[in-house]
Amino acid sequence: MNADLQSRLEKILSEPVKLSTTVSGGCIADSQKLEMNSGKLFFLKLALRVKSGMFEAEAQGLEELRKTVAVSVPEVIANEEDFLLLEWIEEGNDTNDSSMEKLGFQFAELHRFHGKKFGFMQENFLGDSLQINIPSSTGSEKWATFFVENRLKYQAELADKNGYSTQEMRILLDLLIMKIPDLLSGTEEKPSLLHGDLWCGNYLVDVSGKPWLIDPAVYYGHREADLAMTSLFGGFSDIFYSAYKSAFPLAPDYAVREPLYQLYHLLNHLNLFGTGYYRQVLSILKRYAG
């Protein structure tokens, strides 16, 4: 940590930094644990290749989740262009059944917090990718339209720009888009507040067994899209899903729609990490449109 940054942090926290230690925190930012002279601890994220507004968007997302009082999220201490300072959460060594059940119930409660329309007040980020939350066309008051315009089409256009798309992929996506209104028919709900990127790396359980959500990409959308992300890479137990569904049952045939919602995240991974995700994208497209 350079002297200028340390001075700024000490001014915010009104005491000297005793020690800073690098901790795991993803590939976008350098994450550190700060120990102050008083013994207080904080979590610091420093810009590596962070895009303009990324930390502000993350802070806004955490505050949006906090106001629901449904889930626990770290308190935002300060955010600036080059860093985000958060409350330190001491992570436990074990994720037990009780913690996962609690997380399932809390996730369901979060989804009962509704907005007036799909999207969010500002654009934010899904990993390192811009996430377009401002409706792009008339008709976006309908979830199917928003999902197509602001989620699938944006990522597909980005894949074209990045050179990861193919003619086959484009043809199949066009066929899928025509089918989406029918695929989602009968599942209509009010817009729910979504974490937006809940995989197993974006929750933690503290030493007392209490679950916390971190690193959100919030927007108001269909809760099935949020739930689908949890199963894409694993890390959530059957107890989590049982708790969620008992608290907030899903429309019939959710399992049929789940890969459709995972497609958005796989397209994003294609754009972030390259062609290793192409086969998974094509597999889902063929499943619905082939």
Is 197 a catalytic site residue? yes
DSSP assignment of the chain? --HHHHHHHHHHHTS-EEEEEEE---SSEEEEEEEETTS-EEEEEEESSPPTTHHHHHHHHHHHHHTTTSS--PPEEEEETTEEEEE---B-S---HHHHHHHHHHHHHHHT-B-SSSB-SS-EEETTEEE--S--STTTTSHHHHIIIIIIHHHHHHHHHHT---HHHHHHHHHHHHHHHHHTTT---PPEEE-S--SGGGEEEBTTS-EEE-S---EEE-HHHHHHHHHHS----HHHHHHHHHHSPPPTTHHHHHHHHHHHHHHHHHHHH-GGGHHHHHHHHHHHH-
d(CA 286, CA 289): 5
Q: Single out the catalytic residue among 197, 206, 215, 226.
A: 197
> Catalytic site residues?
197
